[in-house]
Amino acid sequence: MIETDDVPIVYLDSTKEATPGARGELGSDQREWLAGVCAEYDDPLFLSHHPLGTFDISDNDWFRHYPERAFLSDRKETLRVIEGLGSGRGTISGHIHQSGFANFRNMAHVSVNAFSKEVPGKPLTGTYADVTVGDRITVDVTVGGDTVTSYTIL
């Protein structure tokens, strides 16, 4: 939990060793902790390795055949906690190896491509994001030194 420019930033640990196939999960203990955070802070920004939002992965080499591995396995329950307390500015995640923006369940979700993504015939992408936190949250996605797209979370 970090506060920057009056915007609370909450990191959710979605790694779960007992969950096979690259799936992520928060679990009931972390969701209980999250409920307390959401009750205490207004409109946090959530960071998670596994996405809480829904992104189109139909052309995704890693997840199109196994979409259940792409997203947080207990995201429905997690989003219920966030929505139930009327909290949440948006989420930033990775895991799915693609950059994108989605509005899912009345919340902005940004996914940032992997820095180390490598596919046959293409070298490492070197993708990363600069996140500016203020009245709005801006996510500038950079590939090979060039900003290729920007997303805004209100």
Q: Would you kindly state where each structural domain of the chain is located, as residue ranges?
A: 2-126
The first and second tokens of residue 18, run together, are 């007992």
Q: Quick one: what percent of the chain has pLDDT higher than 90?
A: 57
Q: Which CATH code is given to the segment(s) 2-126?
A: 3.30.750.180
CA 17, CA 60: separation in Å to the nearest integer?
24
Q: Where residue 18 falls among pLDDT bands split at 50, 70, 90?
A: low
* Contacts (Cβ under 8 Å, ≥6 apart) of 153: 45, 89, 90, 92, 108, 110, 136, 137, 138, 139
User: For the segment 72-110, what is each residue's pLDDT rounded down to a tens digit?
Assistant: 999 999 999 998 877 788 999 999 989 999 999 889 999
